[in-house]
Amino acid sequence: MLVIDVQNDFCAGGALAVPEGEAVVPRVNRLAKQFETVVLTQDWHPADHISFAASHPGRQPFESLDLPYGPQVLWPSHCVQGTQGAALHPELDIPHARMILRKGGNRLVDSYSAFLEADRTSRTGLDGYLRSLGITDLYICGLATDFCVAWSAEDARAFGFSATIIEDACRAIDLNGSLAAAWAKLAAAGVGRIGSAALGA
């Protein structure tokens, strides 16, 4: 199971709070007990990251900007390395998690995906890690459905894994129809959807 970005800044009171983001925590904790191998991700940016509106004078959060690697949504500054906002949610309780993967550390490139940065060429190394453990099937949950969860699931398929999103263990930002667009792309990529009840949680 991949648990995407269940961090303070994406929960109530955080810098980029996803509506009801914190609601996934108890469900994610229960689900994690069903899986032998759990990997957590952490969005982890330098303070002057290119995805921050504050890094582009005159720009506002949630505008889109064309960068060398493609269009980029500009976000409020969030998940700055070493801050409390970047910390995993304090009630996340997955002591047997095998790895915490930090992404988005390149100042000049964002990384929604746990596998590939937004330039679509720089790898995080997660595909090799999972493959070396013999893992073929991924269940994905966390925040936010339409950005980091969706991009991670789509890339999981591109790297040859089976990918299923645990829908009720995710919450979305839903910016300008981004949630419906994400589900359409995910269906086309062969990403499955399941509820936590079907996994015994």
- Give the active site residues: 5, 103, 148
5 scored as a contact of Zn ion (CB under 5 A): no
d(CA 85, CA 107): 18
Give whichever of 14 and 104 is closer to Zn ion, judged by the CB atom: 104
The size of the interface with Zn ion (CB under 5 A), counted in residues, is 2
Question: Of 22, 43, 127, 154, which one interacts with Zn ion (CB under 5 A)?
Answer: 43
Rounded to a whole number of angstroms, the minimum distance from the CB of residue 45 to Zn ion is 6
The arrangement of strands across the sheet holding 2-4 comes to 99-103, 39-43, 2-4, 137-143, 162-171, 192-194
Rounded to a whole number of angstroms, the minimum distance from the CB of residue 55 to Zn ion is 12
Give whichever of 2 and 201 is closer to Zn ion, judged by the CB atom: 2
Rounded to a whole number of angstroms, the minimum distance from the CB of residue 194 to Zn ion is 26
Name the one range near Zn ion by CB under 5 A: 40-48, 138-146, 162-170, 185-193: 40-48
Q: Before 144, cis peptide (omega within 30)?
A: yes
Return the ∠ at Cα 46 (arms to 44 and 50), rounded to 5°: 100
Query: Encoding tokens for residue 113?
Result: 């995906």
Q: How far does Cα 110 stand from its chain's mean position? A: 12
Contacts with Zn ion by CB under 5 A lie at: 43, 104
